[in-house]
């Protein structure tokens, strides 16, 4: 059996969100090939990128290991850019036979331009855009613990993990990993709390990491 690798992401990038400003000389950074690793978002930010456009949609209904890997790689990029308040223009394809509420798992990410696969896609897109704000689902590393704060459901849900096998699972899940390589009991707990997304055989960590709060900690 032949295994096909997922294509590396390629994005178009600009130094500003404003449509008029993007037309000024030097504001466009053109097409940028990425490496699909944890440093992509940092490299884009440090080069002055403040708006990114994905050339391919995030397709959660695609079939095959390479397609699943590509979807997770793109979600990693969107998640990590959202954490840096970089605007991301992207499109989301959901499986027509899937859970109609699946989009809510991703509602902490910068809202997409369009959603296909839902009968009420326009209503979902409106809700996503009007209810989105930064730090909606975040995690932070403390001395010997991880804290997760989740406001996707309208209230604050807070979780603290201080056992080594939880920290190891988060490190493994961060870029998306085969679900069988994560402790089954920990994965079940994270999944029950809607902190993990399954894409084929991959399990992916949904929260993005913050090093400091954008507001006072009690307000986030």
Q: What is the pLDDT of residue 1?
A: 40
Q: What is the pLDDT of residue 211?
A: 56
Cα separation, 30 vs 12, in Å, equals 5
For residue 167, the number of C-alpha atoms closer than 13 Å in the C-beta half-sphere is 11
- Tens digit of each residue's pLDDT (9 = 90 or more) over 168-197: 999 999 999 999 999 999 999 999 999 999
Q: What is the pLDDT of residue 122?
A: 92
Cα separation, 80 vs 204, in Å, equals 13
Q: What is the pLDDT of residue 96?
A: 78
- Tell me what the pLDDT averaged over the chain comes to: 91
Q: For residue 21, what is the DSSP state?
A: G
Q: What is the pLDDT of residue 219?
A: 47
- Tens digit of each residue's pLDDT (9 = 90 or more) over 93-151: 998 776 768 899 999 999 999 999 988 889 999 999 999 999 999 999 888 899 999 99
Do 187 and 196 form a contact (C-beta atoms < 8 A)? yes
- Which residue carries 């080594």 as its tokens? 164
Which of 68-82, 85-99, 165-179, 201-215 has the lowest average pLDDT?
201-215
Dmax (CA) of the chain: 54
For residue 220, pLDDT beyond 80: no
Q: Look at residue 110 and give its three-state secondary structure.
A: coil
For residue 152, pLDDT beyond 90: yes
- Which residue carries 């969100």 as its tokens? 17
Q: What is the mean pLDDT of residues 10-23?
A: 94
Q: Look at residue 121 and give its three-state secondary structure.
A: helix
28, β-bridge pairs: 14
Q: What is the pLDDT of residue 16?
A: 95
Q: What is the pLDDT of residue 213?
A: 54
Which helix (H) or strand (E) segment holds residue 69: the answer is: helix 65-82
What is the share, in percent, of the chain residues with pLDDT greater than 90?
78
Do 147 and 159 form a contact (C-beta atoms < 8 A)? yes
For residue 69, pLDDT beyond 90: yes
């Amino acid at each position: 059996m032949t295994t096909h690798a997922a294509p590396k992401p390629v994005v178009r990038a600009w130094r500003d969100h404003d449509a008029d400003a993007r037309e000024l000389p030097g504001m466009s950074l053109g097409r940028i090939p990425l490496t699909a690793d944890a440093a992509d978002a940092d490299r884009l930010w440090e080069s002055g990128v403040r708006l990114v456009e994905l050339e391919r949609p995030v397709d959660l209904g695609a079939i095959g290991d390479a397609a699943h890997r590509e979807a997770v790689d793109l979600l990693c990029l969107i998640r990590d850019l959202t954490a840096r308040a970089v605007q991301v223009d992207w499109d989301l394809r959901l499986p027509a036979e899937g859970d109609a509420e699946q989009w809510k798992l991703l509602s902490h990410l910068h809202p997409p331009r369009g959603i296909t696969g839902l009968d009420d896609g326009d209503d979902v897109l409106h809700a996503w855009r009007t209810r989105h704000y930064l730090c909606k689902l975040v995690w932070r590393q403390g001395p010997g613990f991880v804290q997760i704060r989740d406001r996707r459901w309208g209230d604050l849900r807070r979780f603290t993990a201080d056992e080594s096998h939880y920290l190891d699972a988060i490190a493994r899940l961060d870029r998306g990993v085969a679900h069988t390589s994560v402790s089954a009991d920990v994965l079940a707990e994270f999944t029950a709390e809607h902190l993990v997304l399954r894409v084929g055989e991959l399990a992916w960590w949904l929260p993005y990491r913050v090093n400091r709060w954008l507001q006072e900690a009690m307000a986030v």
